[in-house]
Amino acid sequence: MANGPRLALIAHDQKKDDLVAFAVKHADFLSACDLVATGTTGQRVADASGLAVRRLKSGPLGGDQQIGALIAEARIDAVIFLVDPLTPLPHDVDVKALMRLAIVYDIPLALNLATAEIVLGHFVAGLREGE
């Protein structure tokens, strides 16, 4: 595993292409990160970018909760979770629980691409400063 930031990657079905494109765009930086993702998202990111991604279960099958557990165990530094606000989610309760944990443990949580860019920029700046 890499020694960089520990990032969780999640995307709703309608946002998976956006997250894959984001990962490909930032593959050089992300290759230095420990990446964990929910099932299908992780596979798609790994296939498109060549990045090493530890895949958990699909979100509706417990993957969101697995990432929540990693947050509670202080094993995640930030979450990039591209949300589709226009599609109803049968596992909405799990999504809200994950968001709640990110808030409780003060973990950066990017819910769209603009915020994901800012979160990554924070880590890039920190590495430049030797953090």
Residues forming a β-bridge with 6: 34
d(CA 43, CA 61) in angstroms, rounded, equals: 16
**Catalytic site residue 64?**
yes
Catalytic residue (one of 13, 17, 64, 84): 64
At 53, give phi and psi (nearest 5°).
-130, 125
First to last CA, the chain: 18
Query: Are the beta carbons of 101 and 68 closer than 8 angstroms?
Result: yes
Collapsed DSSP state (helix, strand, coil) of residue 33: coil
Calculated CA dihedral for residues 62, 35, 21, 29, nearest 10 degrees: 160
Q: List, by residue number, the catalytic residues.
A: 64
